Amino acid sequence: MTQDTLNSAPKEQFEDNKNLENENNAEQSEHSTENSVQESQDSSRPDFNEMTLKDIVQYFQELLERGDQQEMYKYSDTIKAAFYKTLKKEKIALGIIFPQNEESLEQEEGDVVSVNPFAELERGFKELYNKYKLERSVFLHSLEKNKEENLVLKNRIIEELKDLLEKQEDLQHTFPTFRELQNRWKSIGPVPQSHTKDLWENYQFLIEKFYDFVKINNELRDLDLKKNLELKAELCTKAEELMNEPNIVLSFRKLQKYHEEWRELGPVPKELREEIWERFKKATTNINKRQQEYFEGLKADHKQNLELKTALCEKAEIIAGNKDGEKDWNTLSKEMETLQEEWKTIGFASKKDNQRIYDRFRAACDKFYEEKRHFYSGFKKEMQENLEKKIALCEQAEALKDSEDWKKATDQLISLQKKWKEIGPVARKQSDAVWKRFRAACDHFFERKSTHFSSVEENYEDNLNLKKELINEINEYKPDSVTAENLAAFRDFQNRWSEIGFVPLKEKERIQAEYRHAMDSKFAEFRSNENENKFGRFKKHIKELKGSGKGDKGIKVERDKLFQKFRQLEQDIALWENNIGFFAKSKNADNIINDIEKKISKAKEEMIQIEEKIKLIDKQYE
């Protein structure tokens, strides 16, 4: 190659060299931006500290099966730390180890399966982790080996480029060889980091030399520049379309790929070189700006998430620091669980704050559950005492289950049931057994009682007919005035009604209503006088108290007695109504329920009368 030939190299080649330099600088800038994107992606990793041990092992297993070395390398140490941290907490919760025990969980031996329920899970995790380390070692060894091979191949291309520059062959033979070397270079993967810079500079130097010292045929050069222009225009179009990509991170990654393709392409016609580069640079600027706005918005979200999580930490710390002597552990536990569920709905904080705020929240939760564990460990003694009390009630109920003193035994069993409800809880594994024992004794007695009184049920229909006949008789009676004879008839009807026994339960309310209607229609004056007489006697009694030496104090005492009786009847009704539910599942329980309903009805009527008497007293002192 002569000096004239060298001097005749077109001026455009120098412009090409300058453009290559600009593109190389752009490459370094884009690489640094890409690294920032990669770092931002770490915030999207799963929160392994929120997973169970089995979920962590399952996730690690799936990670190994996918075989993505980069993903495994990114999460392996985090998964390992989360596994042993969660394992330690689980062992502390079960009492296998204590919080002050600083001995490493990873050093537990595999022969403690009989006392360590996590041994198999630990062994399985260690096998997975060892498998990962082995695969990682093989991968890195293979990667380094490939890089060394790539280094040899690229050095060989550089030598071939040097040989090509020294040849004096015709351009039609030289240029295809040059293109073939470029394509081979692009197809070869990375080389060891220590050789990357020098290798790239040597390659760029030889490429520039080729354009500087080889006089390209104008026709072939024009075709090459035109082809490069078409390819770069396509890259511009692709870069511009990235603005429509909803995934901002994905669009940024694609842009980096387009820049790599751009750098591998040769020059374009000089008159269009600046225009096509400005178009591509504009698209790049738009994507970079969009990416920057995205991460600024992400920072705002991280800040808001940190504020929300800080508020949850404060609430959790208040619950954990509750100093009340009597804590409602169930309510507090539900509140803590609600906070934990709300925590899961909040996204990540920034990378520097996320672990710190999580550790703060976890510390408050751990403190609460540790105190709860201590409380229930002391609660065992109380539950044992409750168990002994309930066993004593079982023995009393079993002593009564074969009694034939139906009334007395019934009252005693109901009293035992009331005492049972007043006794606190027992251990869950014993609660069901002791309850079944007590229930069996009660059921045995009430089934015997039901069987005993079942023979009475056949008389209910006869009693119903007798009451219907009595109602007809009352309706046909025609009292003309308030006479002694009519008063005697009124008393006789009342007595005869009371003497008639039970009627079927489904007819009870209806027949009682018919009776009241008949008596009210025939003897309204007598019933009114009867009520007046009752309250007249009570009024007289109040006047006597007021006129006596006791005075207002005696009346106040009388009112207090009435009020206490009213409250006692309320409690009795509540107990009886509860007992109806208690015996509802017993066989042949209709008679028992009927008796209790009669007591409830009578108590309610008495409560109405007591309430009227209290109002009467209060009215006199208004």
How far is Cα 619 from Cα 622, in angstroms, rounded to an integer?
5
Average pLDDT over residues 306-321: 85
**Confidence check: pLDDT of 113 > 70:** no
Amino acid at 203: Y
Convert the pLDDT of each residue in 403-446 to its tens digit.
Answer: 888 788 888 888 888 888 888 888 778 888 889 888 898 888 88
Output the pTM of the full model. 0.30
Residue 236 pLDDT class (50, 70, 90 cuts): very high
In contact, 549 and 594? CB cutoff 8 Å = no
Alpha-carbon Rg of the chain, whole angstroms?
48
Helices marked H in 116-217 — which ranges? Answer: 119-166, 171-187, 193-213
How far is Cα 255 from Cα 251, in angstroms, rounded to an integer?
6
The domain ranges of the chain are: 45-215, 301-378, 380-454, 548-622
**Confidence check: pLDDT of 103 > 50:** no
How far is Cα 139 from Cα 132, in angstroms, rounded to an integer?
10
- Angle, nearest 10°, between helix axes 218-241 and 248-264? 170
Instruction: With residue 108 as reference, give the H or E element that holds it.
Output: none
**pLDDT attached to residue 29:** 38
Q: Rounded to whole angstroms, what are the CA distances from 175 to 13, 101, 600?
A: 15, 74, 111
**pLDDT attached to residue 502:** 74
> pLDDT higher for 544 or 162?
162
Tokens 């309310």 locate to 509
**Confidence check: pLDDT of 380 > 60:** yes
**pLDDT attached to residue 456:** 55
**pLDDT attached to residue 455:** 57
DSSP-derived secondary structure letter, 328: -
Tokens 């119903």 locate to 464
The candidate with the shortest Cα–Cα distance to 36, out of 245, 285, 262, 292, is 292
> pLDDT higher for 257 or 291?
257
The candidate with the shortest Cα–Cα distance to 350, out of 388, 300, 282, 286, is 300
Residue 621 pLDDT class (50, 70, 90 cuts): low
Q: Rounded to whole angstroms, what are the CA distances from 335 to 49, 85, 93, 340, 368?
A: 20, 24, 20, 9, 11
pLDDT over 70 percentage in the chain: 75
Residues with Cβ within 8 Å of residue 358, at least 6 apart in sequence: 47, 49, 309
**Confidence check: pLDDT of 145 > 50:** yes
In contact, 83 and 127? CB cutoff 8 Å = no
Amino acid at 335: E
Residues with Cβ within 8 Å of residue 544, at least 6 apart in sequence: none
How far is Cα 580 from Cα 573, in angstroms, rounded to an integer?
11
